[in-house]
Amino acid sequence: MPGEHAVAGFRDLCEEAGERGLMLTYEGDLPAQEVLELMEAVDSPNFGCYFDLANPLIEGRDPVMELRCLAGWIRSVHIKDFKEKMGDCRPGQGCVPLVECARVLREMDYAGWLILETPPAESEVVAGDVALARELFGG
């Protein structure tokens, strides 16, 4: 269960965000169930989850299951991949199950932001990352 101070702090920030037409999103290393408990406790239309497809794997969790658990709360998604450490490969070349994650997001009718988080590269390489993201995630 989330701490009272965290919930109260997020509620206050969400109220201010709403007054400014903004959305406050959480991205961190909590398991999806704890994030869900936090979202439900804060109970604000201005609060959501910024989901990073690779982060659950770093913590030993399944990103597909985490996505399913957070359905309805995800407001933006980081698309990235890794083999042994963050930033060591291009999307689609590592261990993140991008195809399965994309399928779950489609099943959820996710229509929010998709943000590529990739290692630096020449524009042609980045264009390939964008093409892969479009192929897998649509749009």
pLDDT of 1 reads: 67
Q: Across-strand partners of 113?
A: 76
d(CA 47, CA 42): 8
Nearest to 44 by CA among 11, 7, 74: 11
pLDDT score recorded for residue 3: 82
For residues 62 and 55, give the distance between their C-alpha atoms in angstroms, rounded to a whole number: 9
pLDDT of residue 42: 95
Query: 16 is written with which tokens?
Result: 């201010």
Angle between helices 32-42 and 4-19 (to 10 degrees): 60
For position 87, what pLDDT does the model report? 87
Q: How far apart are CA 116 and CA 43, in angstroms?
A: 29
List of domains in the chain = 4-137 (3.20.20.150)
Q: What is the pTM of this model?
A: 0.90
Q: Give residue 138's pLDDT.
A: 86
Asked whether 47 and 15 are in contact (CB, 8 A), the reply is no
> What are the 10-residue block averages of pLDDT along the chain, 139 residues in total?
85 94 93 94 95 94 97 94 93 97 96 93 96 91
Specify the pLDDT at position 6.
87
The pLDDT of residue 37: 94
Residue 139, pLDDT score: 62
